[in-house]
């Protein structure tokens, strides 16, 4: 009987060892026996200059395949073909999908991600991108997220500064917001920002936004400049104010177990590609907003107003403090205050006052 038990134990050990050796094979991909990395985006297959997330995916694909010598084959799934944002984040977390580019959604998995959504936090994109990709504060936050969720950040690009549009009047100061109703994305922080500025906020899905503006359910909305062209919002909105109240991101995340299964040299290939994809994504956003987007808005009859630094200071003074206080209760004072301190340090490092 003991002999039979020993045979069974040996059989189990052998099976485990065999499966381990098969797994080990996957850890050492070669051009002849490559590993597949699937990356998803909601962006459509489009001109690389205006498809922000798609641009990131294609740069990532080209650099990974080239610099790995074909040992990693990247498959890009655009237009949400792998599912909507939340479903794809869950899939990456579970290892059913290797990687993803996207915006929003992460706070449901890691609430501290909201910290860079403090209103009027970044004066410009240079400061924002430096903080998000090169500060010790954010590196520590990404590491904490990796440990808690299994999601590894490879790079963060700019999805755009969020601005107000409306159909009623130009917005130059916070006083001009009073009495207006704005559509915001799902997420309490968006509601808090708009309400702190004296307007009403209603969460409405993107698919229902145009109709809501057309029928007067809301007077305005807030999005990056590129969102106007994307949603043909010029047909139902007259005024665009470039106040940049929130900075939004395009992240590139990967399943941490998959990343760690790669040999060190291929991990470096993936890290470099993620960093360069983020740079390309930010450049793509600048083209989409400031060349294509502004030109589109002006040619379609919209009035664009850029508040002065003094006017922006009025917006910031009115809403940053109450939103920061609310966010401290949500994710902790240490994180919120750490971000505020990091931004000031980064401004000084880059030579901004």
Query: Which CATH number fits the domain that encloses residue 234?
Result: 3.40.190.170
Band of residue 223 on the pLDDT scale cut at 50, 70, 90 = very high
In a domain, 98, yes or no: yes
How much is the pLDDT for 45? 85
In a domain, 15, yes or no: no
Tell me the pLDDT tens digit for each residue of 183-197.
Answer: 999 889 999 999 999
How much is the pLDDT for 3? 40
In a domain, 24, yes or no: no
The answer to whether the beta carbons of residues 350 and 224 sit under 8 Å apart is no
In a domain, 304, yes or no: yes
How much is the pLDDT for 167? 98
User: For the whole model, what pTM was predicted?
Assistant: 0.89
* pLDDT at residue 294 tops 50: yes
In a domain, 23, yes or no: no
Domain that holds residue 68: 31-350
In a domain, 64, yes or no: yes
How much is the pLDDT for 33? 94
* pLDDT at residue 27 tops 70: no
In a domain, 266, yes or no: yes
In a domain, 205, yes or no: yes
* pLDDT at residue 25 tops 60: no
CB-count exposure of residue 305 (10 Å: 0-12, 13-18, 19+) = middle
Tell me the pLDDT tens digit for each residue of 224-267.
Answer: 999 999 899 999 999 999 999 999 999 999 999 999 999 999 99
* pLDDT at residue 21 tops 80: no
Instruction: Indicate the number of domains in the chain.
Output: 1
The residue among 160, 116, 168, 167 whose CA lies nearest residue 137 is: 116
Count of beta carbons in the 10 Å neighbourhood of residue 280: 22
As a whole-number percent, the residues of the chain with pLDDT over 70 amount to 92
How much is the pLDDT for 26? 55
Average pLDDT over residues 41-45: 90
Mean pLDDT of the chain: 92
More confident residue, 24 or 104: 104
């Amino acid at each position: 009987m003991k002999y039979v038990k020993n045979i069974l134990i040996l059989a189990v050990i052998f099976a485990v060892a065999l499966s381990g050796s098969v797994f080990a094979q996957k850890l050492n991909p070669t051009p002849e026996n490559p590993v597949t990395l699937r990356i998803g985006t909601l962006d459509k297959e489009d001109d690389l200059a205006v498809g922000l997330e798609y641009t990131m995916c294609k740069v990532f694909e080209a650099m990974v395949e080239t610099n790995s010598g074909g040992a990693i084959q990247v498959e890009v799934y655009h237009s949400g073909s792998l599912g909507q944002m939340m479903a794809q984040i869950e899939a990456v977390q579970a290892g059913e999908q290797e990687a993803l580019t996207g915006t929003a959604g992460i706070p449901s998995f890691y609430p501290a991600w909201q910290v860079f959504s403090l209103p009027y936090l970044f004066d410009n994109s240079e400061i924002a991108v430096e903080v998000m990709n090169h500060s010790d504060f954010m590196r520590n936050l990404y590491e904490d997220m990796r440990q808690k969720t299994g999601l590894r950040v490879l790079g963060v690009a700019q999805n755009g500064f969020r601005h107000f549009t409306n159909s009623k009047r130009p917005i130059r100061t916070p006083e001009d917001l009073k009495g207006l109703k704005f559509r915001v994305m799902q997420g309490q922080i968006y509601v808090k920002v708009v309400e702190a500025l004296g307007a009403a906020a209603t969460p409405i899905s993107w698919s229902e936004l145009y109709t809501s503006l057309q029928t007067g359910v809301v007077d305005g909305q807030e999005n990056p400049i590129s969102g106007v062209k994307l949603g043909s919002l010029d047909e139902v909105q007259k005024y665009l104010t470039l106040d940049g109240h929130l900075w939004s991101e395009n992240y590139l995340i990967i399943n941490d177990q998959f990343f760690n299964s790669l040999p060190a040299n291929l991990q470096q290939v993936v890290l470099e590609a993620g960093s360069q994809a983020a740079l390309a994504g930010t450049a793509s956003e600048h083209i989409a907003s400031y060349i294509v987007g502004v030109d589109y808005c002006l040619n379609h009859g919209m009035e664009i107003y850029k508040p002065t630094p003094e006017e922006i200071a009025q917006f910031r003074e009115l809403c940053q403090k109450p939103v920061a206080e609310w966010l401290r209760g949500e994710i902790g004072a240490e994180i919120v205050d750490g971000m505020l301190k990091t931004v000031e340090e980064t401004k000084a490092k880059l030579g901004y006052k």
